[in-house]
Amino acid sequence: MSNQLQQLKSMTTVVADTGDFEAIAAYQPQDATTNPSLILKAIQQPKYRHLAEEALTWARSQASETDTVALAADKLAVLLGSKLMQQVPGLVSTEVDARLSFDSMGTIEKAHHLIEMYRQQAVDTSRVLIKVAATWEGIQAARVLEQQGIRCNLTLLFSFAQARACAEAGVYLVSPFVGRILDWFKKQFPEQDFSGDKDPGVQSVSQIYTYFKQHQYSTIVMGASFRNIGEIQHLAGCDRLTISPTLLEELANCHGPLPRQLTSGVEVKTRPAQLTEQQFRWMMNEDAMATEKLSEGIRQFALDQAKLEALLSELLCR
């Protein structure tokens, strides 16, 4: 019998959640996705430090001294994304600075800036997904970008309200976070059993997937942020799953049967009217978990972006 990673690939597009080229070569995913935390982790390893040096060298030739570090950080993300494209046949997601999460126009401008940098690398920009936090402002920025032909991956998604608003905006792909949802519920209710299909993160992705299929939204559902392979096994059949190298290895070492859990064969229903901003914000206000985890995620990505820029600044001064 084939291993569970091979079985999963037969029903779900597997995406590598890493900036580690060696891991991608080992597990051969279709797509790859990164974020500021993964980029920071990658360039702290000596084998990837040359990418930071290349980004700084380029930025020095392009910008004033005050702009060099910020420009180098963008260049580093693009260099990493370009190299990932050489290893995966599909798409690569590159994240907009989390500090723009409540700035629609700033997000749009940054997305165009990143796409232009990819063009300068002579890569196929149709393979780039711009990754944006699923705030109301981020979703509206993605609506515009999608209309302009720039496909988006909406991340830090914890609630049905976020997912529905993304689908209504015509977003290409959403990344609902499984493990971080579980983290919140385990902290709030430490005695409760969240194993198997009782995992609230698994339930969230299942609900979103079913709703999108019922209402015939084209938005792709890509489960993310897994804590264990059980969560992945219970979402087999989802459009896409982005998985860390550690869990990819665990799946590759499992040889039992992996049954499909999610299927697109559901009853079609009429779409409701689109959410207004007021409705969206109220639904988020009523969802303590989603509100807290979205804010926490933005803060963490912003912190790691600042750490990345500090490291680049240190290298610049050497």
* 45 CB-contact burial (10 Å; exposed 0-12 / middle 13-18 / buried 19+): exposed
- In sign, the C-alpha dihedral spanning 51, 307, 118, 55 is negative
The 10 Å CB-count burial string (b at 16+, else e) for 161-177 is bbbbbbbbbebbbbbbb
Which residue out of 75, 83, 110, 131 is catalytically annotated?
Answer: 131
**Measuring CA to CA, which residue among 233, 274, 287, 282 is closest to residue 256?**
233
Chain Cα centroid distance, residue 116: 21
SS3 218: coil
Query: Which two structure tokens, joined as six digits, stand for 278?
Result: 């007021």
Query: Which two structure tokens, joined as six digits, stand for 119?
Result: 């063009």
Length of the chain: 318
Query: Which two structure tokens, joined as six digits, stand for 7?
Result: 């079985």
Answer for the pair 21, 83: CB distance below 8 angstroms, yes or no: yes
Helices and strands counted in the chain (H then E)? 14, 8
Query: Which two structure tokens, joined as six digits, stand for 305?
Result: 């972006």
Q: Catalytic annotation on 110?
A: no
Answer for the pair 197, 162: CB distance below 8 angstroms, yes or no: no
Provide the 10 A C-beta neighbour count for residue 198.
12
So which residues are the catalytic ones? 131
